Amino acid sequence: MAVVPGLVSIIMPAFNAERFIDEAVKSVQAQSYTSWELLIVDDCSTDRTFERARLLADADARVRCTRLERNSGAAMARNRAMEMARGQYMAFLDADDLWHPDKLTRQLEFMGSHGVALCCTAYEQVDEHGAPTGKVLTSPRRVGYNRLLLDCPVGNSTVMYDVSRLGKFEVPDIRKRNDDALWLRMLKREKYIWGIPDVLAQYRVRSDSISANKLSLVKYHWRLYRDIEHLSVVRSVFHVCAWGVIKVLRLK
């Protein structure tokens, strides 16, 4: 599939996001940069997410949607969307998150002026109703492979990269932490994820989120380190413990 110069392909996996997907899509349609395509892949939602996505696609030719044959997780939904993507650039937005209107413009300007192929931004948390919680997640100036192994400071819905420079990727098939696994895979081709300090996205904190239970994430971190990154047992234990300590300290 030929890459379309200047086009940004936006990857949106969706699962039971009926309450939020319209607002997420509107935040894309409000972008000051207008050369984009939005690829929505529904992971067999049990609510009306797919019906909402089809209506949105019918109303805007830049939006395309499809549905997985069976519930397979966000990683597989992302992979399907990434296969469909035609853009020179690829950006990621979860179906319940939101973008600042100048997000794409600011990231493209940053990548062009600094000559980088991979970047992210700061973001803020909002509650289920979209009200700010007061918590802002800053973006480090740059994030390398070893830093990301300790604890990922990169918000999924803030990442953009240049496909023409790095190529396409396949997201590892893991139910949780698959975004971390994808960034680690990218950092084997590019030395750093470069950060923009401005808040250009909003992450919605949901009580039913698959990542809400931090304790349940331990086994997925172990899988990430051992099965996907193939770290030694000792190093994997170290990183799981380090991640746990960081999470505890943040709660204090």
pLDDT at 210: 45
Q: How many domains does the chain have?
A: 2
Same domain, 205 and 217: no
The more confident residue out of 47 and 231 is 47
Low-confidence winner among 1-5, 12-16, 212-216 (lowest mean pLDDT): 212-216
Same domain, 126 and 177: yes
Same domain, 234 and 131: no
pLDDT at 252: 45
The more confident residue out of 235 and 100 is 100
Q: How far is CA 89 from CA 145, 164, 167, 231, in A?
A: 21, 7, 10, 31
Q: How far is CA 154 from CA 19, 72, 200, 206, 237, in A?
A: 25, 24, 13, 18, 22
- Nearest CA-CA partner of 121 in 193, 200, 26: 200
pLDDT at 177: 83
227 is in which domain, residue-wise? 213-252
Confidence of residue 105 (pLDDT cuts 50, 70, 90): very high
Same domain, 176 and 221: no
For the segment 16-25, the average pLDDT, to the nearest whole number, is: 97
Token digits for 149? 């192994």
Same domain, 171 and 206: yes
In tens, the pLDDT along 165-200 reads 999 999 988 878 899 999 999 999 999 999 999 999
Same domain, 143 and 228: no
Please check whether residue 158 is in contact with residue 82, taking contact to mean a CB–CB distance below 8 angstroms: no
Q: Other CB atoms closer than 10 Å to residue 200's CB: what's the count?
A: 24
Same domain, 135 and 202: yes
CATH of the domain at 33: 3.90.550.10
